[in-house]
């Protein structure tokens, strides 16, 4: 097996060093702010299994760069709104890489440092309406 030039952990650490990370308790406090949108990058099955942050917008990880680009045929209007976007995944790895890429594109965004796992550990509210058994 070939040796990688950089590990996934190093890639995430490099991304985290240059993006805005939001601590879980600060994010929970932001939940009631109508100008903040939480963007869930997790797979739909993760959302169905674990629930989601109330009011979060689901954006599959593989579509984020296309959905935020107004010149893309996949652009989603929500990303053209003047608001604060906080991306998250389960543990903060996928969201760190996503936010670094979006920031490189010129899109202002932050990420939930400890992901949905940290959110649940801190007893943040969870929308279970989409959960399946």
Domains of the chain, by residue range, sit at 13-121
Name the average pLDDT for the chain.
Answer: 96
Low-confidence ranges of the chain (pLDDT < 70): 131-133
Looking at domain 13-121, its CATH class is alpha beta
pLDDT at 70: 98
pLDDT at 132: 65
| φ, ψ (nearest 5 deg) of residue 18 | -125, 10
pLDDT at 120: 97
Render the burial of 64-73: b for 16+ CB within 10 Å, e for the rest.
Answer: bbebbbeeee
The answer for residues whose C-beta is within 8 angstroms of residue 9's C-beta and 6 or more apart is none
9 by DSSP, 3-state: which?
A: helix
Percent helix / strand / coil, the chain, rounded to 5? 40, 15, 45
- Measured in whole angstroms, how far is the alpha carbon of residue 19 from the centre of its chain? 12
Q: What is the layout of strands, in order, in the sheet containing 57-58?
A: 20-22, 110-112, 84-88, 36-40, 57-58
49 by DSSP, 3-state: which?
A: helix
pLDDT at 79: 98
Q: What's the predicted TM-score (pTM) here?
A: 0.94
In terms of Cα–Cα distance, which of 48, 45, 57 is closest to 128?
A: 48
pLDDT at 133: 54
pLDDT at 2: 82
């Amino acid at each position: 097996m070939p040796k990688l030039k950089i590990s996934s952990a190093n890639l995430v650490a490099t991304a985290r060093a240059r993006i805005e990370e939001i601590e879980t308790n600060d994010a929970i406090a932001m939940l009631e702010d109508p100008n903040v949108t939480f963007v869930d990058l997790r797979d739909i099955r993760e959302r169905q299994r674990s629930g989601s942050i109330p009011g979060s917008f689901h954006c599959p990880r593989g579509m984020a760069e296309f959905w935020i680009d107004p010149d893309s045929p996949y652009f989603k209007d929500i990303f053209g709104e003047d608001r604060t976007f906080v991306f998250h995944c389960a543990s903060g790895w996928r969201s760190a890489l996503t936010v670094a890429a979006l920031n490189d594109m010129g899109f202002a965004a932050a990420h939930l440092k400890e992901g949905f796992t940290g959110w649940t550990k801190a007893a943040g509210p969870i929308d279970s309406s989409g959960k399946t058994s």
